[in-house]
Amino acid sequence: MKKVIYSWGVYLILTLTLYSQSISLAEYLEKVKLNNPEILSFKKQYEASLNTISYFYLLKDPLIEFEKMNTGNMPEKSFYIKQEIENPLKLKYNYNIKEKEYKYLKANYEKKKNQILTLAKLSYYQYLHLLKQKEIYEKILLNIELIIESLKSDYLISKTSLNDIMKLELKYSEIKNEINIIDSKEKVEFFLSNMFIGGENYSFDTYVDENPVFDNNFSAFLEELDNNPELLSKKIEIQKAELEYKLSKAYYYPDLMFGYKKRYENASSYDIMVGFSLPIFLNKNKSYKNEKEKILESLKKEYEAKYLETRYLLEKYFRQTERNYQSFKYYKDVVLNKSNALFELSLSSYKSGNTNLIEVLYAIDENIKVKLKYYEYLFEFYKSKALLDEVCGRVL
């Protein structure tokens, strides 16, 4: 019995330890990078293509044929070995194409990794934002509870009206409902954040840096635009298409073939053969070359369109980040301090009988609005900054 209780105790401690792990944003993103199934899938794809490159220059398997012929009454037996060798120039083009395929898949992996890490980052910030909203309402709720208790005491000695108590209780109920709504959203966002790391259950460090710094030098971000993984993959795709076009023009270069034939009946008799492919279907090659040329032109236009789209996203996210940063700084340096001072003043004035309940309720509403707006600008800044970093191809 003691062993059973001890085992359950150890299990409970380990379970609580696992679920009480609190990880920072950097640790969270590292876990996403290492455990997200979609990221791992894209990584396996480009690693698989690397294996193809490693043995690309090896010759094709030789062809061995065994032959038996009847020439009159004299059966003849022989075996034949044939080795095909691709034209060295075409082989080089094909090797370079395979290398570009590997680089293209790797760039796609980087693109997908950055996309998922950004989505995870946005979810993380949204979860912390909900926690901050809940914290604001809970603090206000605590103040209202204290006022209600004070009013109930005053009501017993006829120093306040029942109407004031009911108004505050109504406000209390409204805020309580807001907290319940946030609780529901918080659970969904918590599940989403953990989904990015393969369904593990981690709690998150709730620390938020409320002194962010933003370098609003647009030129510096513009210079990093070429690091965007999607643009890089488009460039590699164009380079691959250029090689395929060059390969199509090298169709006329013949491939080689070497052969050796040995007859059993005559030990000193053997044949050595050298051959090459004969490109006689010129129309087929011309069509193939035209196809590759059109694909190359199409990819170049596609890159131009993607560059303009990415350039627009850079402008959009930069301006959003700049605006959110400026709004946050204004609320932090000016609005929040004034709102907190007004709230404290209204409470103390009401306790001393120098103001009415309506003024207190107004101060409560305004303080909630200001604090919610303060954290909204802070987290919107972090979110837009994450999107800006993704566009610039910054390692997350």
Model confidence pLDDT, tens digit, residues 322-350: 999 999 999 999 999 999 998 888 888 87
Q: Three-class SS of residue 74? A: strand
| Residue type present at position 211 | N
What is the pLDDT averaged over residues 19-42? Answer: 86
Structure confidence at residue 240 (pLDDT): 93
Query: In order of start, what are the domains of the chain with their CATH numbers?
Result: 21-391 (1.20.1600.10)
Structure confidence at residue 1 (pLDDT): 43
What is the pLDDT averaged over residues 266-284? Answer: 73
**In whole angstroms, what is the distance from residue 343 CA to residue 366 CA?**
8
DSSP state, residue 198: T
Full-model pTM: 0.81
The region of weakest confidence among 130-139, 205-214, 261-270 is 261-270
C-alpha distances out from residue 265 to 63, 259, 278, 316, 383, Å: 22, 19, 34, 83, 83
**In whole angstroms, what is the distance from residue 121 CA to residue 24 CA?**
11
Structure confidence at residue 228 (pLDDT): 93
Confidence of residue 54 (pLDDT cuts 50, 70, 90): confident
Q: What percent of the chain has pLDDT over 70?
A: 88
| Residue type present at position 56 | F
Q: What is the 3-state secondary structure (H, E, C) of 169-196?
A: HHHHHHHHHHHHHHHHHHHHHHHHHHHC
pLDDT(139) > 80? yes
